[in-house]
């Protein structure tokens, strides 16, 4: 155990002397969170639409005002002589509202009037949102008496604030990327500069060496977690939704898992440039895209879903969102905690195997 701590102290001293590494570990994740947590989202507001008002009466203008007043749409001017579809070809608008002639007359007569909404469906998700929002605007314009009233309640995030959903996701991305990167760089540097030979001739065992490295970078991950958590609580306006013990236990396991991943990459690839690429793939691309950060995991076809099943970040994202928004606690999340521990153990085992073999061969 003493040797583990000595190894850990050596790593931390090395990082402390490396300015770039410190910035990487503690400042960049926060910057990334501020930047992406706010910007990466699927829920759109302020969508440009054009209106073609063929009626041009008081009633039609009143109807257009209902759209103008909504936060989701903003109306761009468009000459009535041009086809509204042209606005899609030049990317000026996402939707076009066409109000027919006699709109005002029919409304005054108490007849139902039809209007058309043309939606640019290049982006299918946004198209669906546009349809839903426009429906709401229209049905609130002159509500028809309905035999049943629907009370739709949005739970856990009633304002539909997407920052609260994506913030925790980007937080997980930062914590998966930077400690792993530092760990991989430190490990592959030993291989690249051949200082690993000094380790082999010393009396330290593969277990002690690896644990020392992992603990050092897990500690950095925890420091990063703490700083990011402050940001989540202040800037993103989140708070613990229930029992925080799951979150804390899983964070400790996750810090170990991430550091073990980095050390494994560094041990397997003794070139710093190549290990950066490996981390970029594992830490960024896969976690960013296949862990449910933006795109739900359930939508991935079953033949590819196993990739998400072995992605450590996916389980942690679910835990963080649960802890900060839903508050499902241990009952809901025990499996995720177990999977993080399992994946961390596998990384550790592989890293140990790699190092032990190298030690014997020399």
Task: Report 77-116 residues binding other proteins (CB under 8 A).
Answer: 85, 88-91, 94, 106-116
Given 78, 165, 215, 347, the residue binding other proteins (CB under 8 A): 165
Stretch that binds other proteins, among 2-10, 139-147, 207-215, 227-235 (CB under 8 A): 139-147
Q: Which helix (H) or strand (E) holds 221?
A: helix 206-234
In whole angstroms, give the CA distance from residue 129 to residue 286. Answer: 27
Please spell the DSSP secondary structure of 31-54, one letter per residue.
HHHHHHHHH--S---SEEEEEEES
Nearer to other proteins, 41 or 359 (CB): 41
Please count the residues of this chain forming the interface with other proteins, following the rule CB under 8 A: 106
- Binders of other proteins in range 171-190 (CB under 8 A): 181
Tell me how far, at minimum, the Cβ of 359 lies from other proteins, in Å: 25
Residues 297/291, Cβ–Cβ less than 8 Å: yes
Query: Of the ranges 152-160, 199-207, 224-232, 255-263, which one interacts with other proteins (CB under 8 A)?
Result: 152-160
**Shortest CB 48 distance to other proteins, Å:** 8
We find the least distance from the C-beta atom of residue 43 to other proteins, in angstroms, to be: 5
- State the nearest-atom distance from the C-beta of 318 to other proteins, in Å: 7
Q: Is 160 in the site for other proteins (CB under 8 A)?
A: yes
Ordered DSSP codes for 168-209: HHHHHHHHHHHHHHHHHHHHHHHHHTTTHHHHHHSS--HHHH
Dist. CA 328–CA 98, nearest whole Å:
46
- Nearest to other proteins of 144, 362 (CB atom): 144
DSSP reduced 3-state for 236: coil
User: Which 16-35 residues touch other proteins, going by CB under 8 A?
Assistant: 28, 32, 35
Interface residue with other proteins, options 9, 10, 142, 357 (CB under 8 A) = 142
Distances 195 to 4, 181, 201 between C-alpha atoms, Å: 18, 19, 10
Under the binding rule (CB under 8 A), the answer on residue 132 touching other proteins is yes
> How many alpha carbons fall within 13 Å on the CB side of residue 113?
21
**Applying CB under 8 A, does 196 fall inside the site for other proteins?**
no
Q: Does 314 bind other proteins (CB under 8 A)?
A: no
Cα distance between residue 229 and residue 96, in whole Å: 43
The residues that bridge with 99 in the sheet, in sequence order, are 53
Burial of residue 5 (number of CB atoms within 10 Å: 0-12, 13-18, 19+): middle
**72 vs 137: CA distance, rounded Å:** 10
Cβ neighbours for 93, distance < 8 A, ≥ 6 positions apart: 48, 49, 50, 76, 78, 84, 87, 120
Count of beta carbons in the 10 Å neighbourhood of residue 102: 16
Nearest to other proteins of 208, 322 (CB atom): 322
Q: Between 294 and 358, name the residue whose CB sits nearer to other proteins.
A: 294
The only residue of 44, 75, 223, 231 in contact with other proteins, by rule CB under 8 A: 44
List the interface residues with other proteins, window 52-81 (CB under 8 A). Answer: 63
Per CB under 8 A, 326 contacts other proteins: yes
Contact 328, 247 (CB under 8 A): no
CB of 351 to other proteins, least distance (A): 21
- Residue with smaller CB distance to other proteins, 327 or 345: 327
Q: Is 358 in the site for other proteins (CB under 8 A)?
A: no
Shortest reach from residue 3's CB to other proteins, in Å: 29
At a CB cut-off of 8 Å and minimum separation 6, what does 258 contact?
175, 176, 179, 180, 183, 217, 218, 221, 312
Partnered with residue 98 across adjacent β-strands are 52, 116
For other proteins, the closer of residues 79 and 301 by Cβ is 301
Stretch that binds other proteins, among 50-58, 219-227, 259-267, 293-301 (CB under 8 A): 293-301
- Binding span for other proteins by CB under 8 A among 205-213, 252-260, 286-294, 341-349: 286-294
- Considering only residues 233-262, where is the footprint of other proteins by CB under 8 A? 242
CB nearer to other proteins: give 69 or 150.
150
């Amino acid at each position: 155990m003493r040797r583990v701590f000595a190894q850990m102290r050596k790593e931390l001293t090395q990082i402390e002397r490396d300015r770039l590494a410190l910035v990487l570990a503690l400042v960049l994740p926060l910057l990334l969170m501020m930047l992406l947590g706010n910007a990466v989202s699927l829920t759109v507001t302020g969508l440009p639409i054009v209106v073609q008002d063929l009626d041009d009466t008081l009633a039609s203008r009143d109807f257009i005002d209902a759209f103008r007043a909504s936060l989701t749409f903003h109306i761009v001017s468009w000459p009535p002589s041009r086809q509204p579809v042209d606005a899609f070809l030049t990317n000026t608008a996402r939707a076009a509202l066409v109000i027919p002639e006699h709109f005002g007359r029919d409304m005054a007569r108490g007849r139902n009037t039809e209007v058309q909404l043309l939606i640019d469906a290049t982006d299918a998700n946004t198209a669906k949102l546009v349809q839903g929002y426009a429906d709401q605007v229209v049905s609130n314009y002159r509500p028809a008496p309905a035999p049943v009233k629907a009370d739709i309640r949005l739970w856990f995030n009633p304002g539909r604030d997407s920052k609260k959903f994506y913030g925790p996701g980007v937080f997980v991305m930062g914590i998966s990327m930077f400690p792993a990167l530092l760990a991989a760089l430190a490990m592959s540097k030993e291989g690249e500069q051949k200082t690993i030979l000094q380790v082999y001739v010393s009396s330290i065992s593969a277990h002690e060496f690896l644990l020392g490295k992992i603990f050092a970078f897990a500690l950095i991950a925890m420091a990063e977690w703490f700083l990011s958590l402050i940001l989540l609580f202040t800037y993103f306006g989140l708070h613990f939704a229930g029992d925080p013990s799951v979150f804390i236990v899983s964070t400790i396991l996750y810090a170990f898992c991430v550091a073990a991943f980095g050390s494994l990459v560094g041990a397997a690839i003794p070139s710093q440039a190549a290990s950066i690429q490996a981390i970029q793939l594992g830490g960024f691309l896969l976690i960013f895209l296949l862990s449910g950060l933006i795109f739900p995991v359930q939508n991935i076809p079953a033949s590819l879903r196993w990739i998400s099943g072995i992605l450590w970040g996916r389980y942690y994202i679910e835990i963080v969102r649960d802890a900060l928004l839903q508050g499902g606690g241990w009952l809901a999340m025990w499996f995720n905690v177990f999977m993080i521990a399992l994946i961390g153990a596998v990384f550790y085992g592989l890293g140990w195997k790699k190092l032990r073999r190298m030690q014997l061969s020399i």
